[in-house]
């Protein structure tokens, strides 16, 4: 089986991307997905994205984690798939697409994609951390000296120890100034630190606002893969018009032969 693929990245969060409007990709083959995402034996990526037809919107986004399992919402993946749809001519500068957590609006300006995320009306503050769902579940915890923090060890411990087998993504945060935070994320499904996580940085921005660490409605997030901005409105603890903004770039395209 020969598959055409594209490689996209959004602030270092990278994805194998495929046009599946003709339903040629075997979505039930989790072994194949994991192989394609493998950085030594396959193409290499944090996840795999399929663009499919959708009756309610411009297209449907289907997302798989690097381990082969279908995942929850991926913010950077959504931004990359909008850039891909724009590249194919499926959408112009404005798009509406369907994902596992519902409809999303997005705007493309060059390589910058601004993606509307889900509203959030529950943020659970648990002492030294917060927990919320921004399309995917996220643990948000302030730490000191983030640059030298053992994200893999501590993230894995919390991902399984606190949240069980279903798990949560784990975000470690250091505040840089009133409206800027540095973030490192351990992602479930990847089971390692990623250079960036879109739903994660969104969760950080909302959690930092909810806990009073910032009063800004536009929060700047620095990840190891680049910078993102999260804008939002808040009233009575409910966050609406949440937008995740940053670059999304095509890296290369090619064909891969698979016998899996």
Please report, in range form, the residues annotated as the binding site for substrate: 13, 65, 75-76, 169, 187-188, 198-199
Task: State the burial class of residue 106 (Cβ atoms within 10 Å of its Cβ: 0-12, 13-18, 19+).
Answer: buried
The token duo for 237 is: 């603890």
Distances 115 to 35, 54, 56, 220, 238 between C-alpha atoms, Å: 29, 18, 18, 15, 18
Q: Give yes or no for a contact between 222 and 12, defined as CB atoms under 8 angstroms apart.
A: no
Closest C-alpha among 239, 255, 224 to residue 13: 224
Distance from C-alpha of 162 to C-alpha of 168, rounded to nearest angstrom: 9
Residue 197 falls in the annotated catalytic set: yes
Any idea which residues carry the catalytic annotation? 74, 197
């Amino acid at each position: 089986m020969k598959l055409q693929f594209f490689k996209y990245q959004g602030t270092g969060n990278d994805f194998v991307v495929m046009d599946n409007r003709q339903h040629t990709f075997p979505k039930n083959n989790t072994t194949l997905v994991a192989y394609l995402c493998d950085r030594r034996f396959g193409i290499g990526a944090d996840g795999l994205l399929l663009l499919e037809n959708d009756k309610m919107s411009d297209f449907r986004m289907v997302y798989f984690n690097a381990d082969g399992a279908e995942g929850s919402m991926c913010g950077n993946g959504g931004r990359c798939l909008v850039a891909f749809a724009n590249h194919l001519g499926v959408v112009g500068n404005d798009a509406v697409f369907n994902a596992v957590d519902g409809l999303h609006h997005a705007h493309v300006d060059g390589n910058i994609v601004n993606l509307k995320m889900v509203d959030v009306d529950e943020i659970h503050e648990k002492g030294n951390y917060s927990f919320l769902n921004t399309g995917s579940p996220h643990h948000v915890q302030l730490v000191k000296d983030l640059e030298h923090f053992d994200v893999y060890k501590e993230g894995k411990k919390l991902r399984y120890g606190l949240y069980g087998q279903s798990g949560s993504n784990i975000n470690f945060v250091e505040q840089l100034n009133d409206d800027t935070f540095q973030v490192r994320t351990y992602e479930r499904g990847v089971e390692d630190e990623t250079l960036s996580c879109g739903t994660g940085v969104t969760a950080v921005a909302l959690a930092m606002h909810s806990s009073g660490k910032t009063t800004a409605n536009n929060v700047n997030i620095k990840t190891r893969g680049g910078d993102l901005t999260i804008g939002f409105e808040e009233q009575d603890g409910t966050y609406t018009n949440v937008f995740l903004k940053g670059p999304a770039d095509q890296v290369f395209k090619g064909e891969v032969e698979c016998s899996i």
